[in-house]
Amino acid sequence: AQKITQTQPGMFVQEKEAVTLDCTYDTSDPSYGLFWYKQPSSGEMIFLIYQGSYDQQNATEGRYSLNFQKARKSANLVISASQLGDSAMYFCAMIDTGNQFYFGTGTSLTVIP
Amino acid sequence: DADVTQTPRNRITKTGKRIMLECSQTKGHDRMYWYRQDPGLGLRLIYYSFDVKDINKGEISDGYSVSRQAQAKFSLSLESAIPNQTALYFCATSDGLRETQYFGPGTRLLVL
């Protein structure tokens, strides 16, 4: 069974608008971590944001915030004030207590000028 | 200089050849990982190592082997390459605290 599900293969957003990228996860572990990574067309993987399963508050890093809904097992990424440079693939990932990482299949975001 | 480096960056080889991909890091992290990325499948974990004496299989270890020569070096080998091992390979490190992973630039491997 898939551990991480990203149901949006591709998304478009107007420059300066906000966009939400969806991610749901599957684990029975009480302790886990959730991540978002950005992969531009150049190919490198760039860490964006982290949320621990016991963190009370949603994580934020600059224009990135993680909308963590534990009961629904969702960890959506919100990008505010989109910029052209935000066009990239975005991957949601999880680490469980077995110390294994699981990545979703990614969402391709295109920012329209 | 990059904190996590991978060599080579690109490689073309033939079926049956032995290939080694190398990863070095200057972040001082104990934990190192090898992933492969295929279109539409995201990243999948091949092997990981939490210290020099610790090697663990990931989701898709068949056809691969690894060597942790030092804290800073983690190599991935394909003993007999096959075409379906054509992929983008990433090395990553983490410090074991928040488990944030830091990725190398990737190696594009084409097996003919």
Q: What is the pLDDT of residue B34?
A: 97
Stretch A21-48: mean pLDDT:
93
Mean pLDDT across B19-31: 95
For chain A, give the mean pLDDT: 93
Q: Which residues of B touch A37 (CB under 8 A)?
A: 103
What are the chain A neighbours of B50 within 8 Å (beta carbons)? 99
Q: Which residue has the tokens 């989109």?
A: A82
By residue count, chain A amounts to 113
| CA separation for the pair A4, B96 (Å, rounded) | 21
B6 part of contact set with chain A, CB < 8 Å: no
Which residues from B are below 8 Å from A4, CB to CB?
A: 42
pLDDT tens string B26-77: 999 999 999 999 987 789 999 999 999 999 999 899 999 999 999 999 999 9
The conformational region for residue A80 under phi > 0 = left, psi -120 to 50 = alpha, else beta, is beta
Among residues of chain A, what percentage have pLDDT more than 70? 98
pLDDT of residue B97: 64
pLDDT at A99: 75
The helix (run of H) or strand (run of E) holding residue B21 is strand B19-25
Q: Is the pLDDT score of A101 beyond 90?
A: no
Residue-level pLDDT at B2: 65
Q: Smallest Cα–Cα separation from B109: which of B17, B32, B42, B31?
A: B17
Task: Select the more confidently predicted residue: B39 or A71.
Answer: A71
Least Cα separation, residue B75 to chain A (angstroms)? 19
Tell me how far apart the alpha carbons of residues A19 and A15 are, in angstroms, rounded to a whole number: 10
Return the ∠ at Cα B29 (arms to B23 and B31), rounded to 5°. Answer: 75
Looking at beta carbons, which residues of chain B come within 8 Å of A35? Answer: 100-101
pLDDT grade for A87, boundaries at 50, 70 and 90: very high
Has residue A100 got a pLDDT over 90? no
Q: Which of residues 6-45 of A touch B (CB under 8 A)?
A: 33, 35, 37, 43-45
Q: Which residue has the tokens 């594009």?
A: B108
Whether residues B103 and A43 touch (CB distance < 8 A) is answered with: no
**pLDDT value at A1 more than 80:** no
Q: Is the pLDDT of residue B101 over 90?
A: no
* Interface contact B100, partner A, CB < 8 A: yes
State the pLDDT at residue B1.
Answer: 58
Are B42 and A47 a contacting pair at CB < 8 A? no
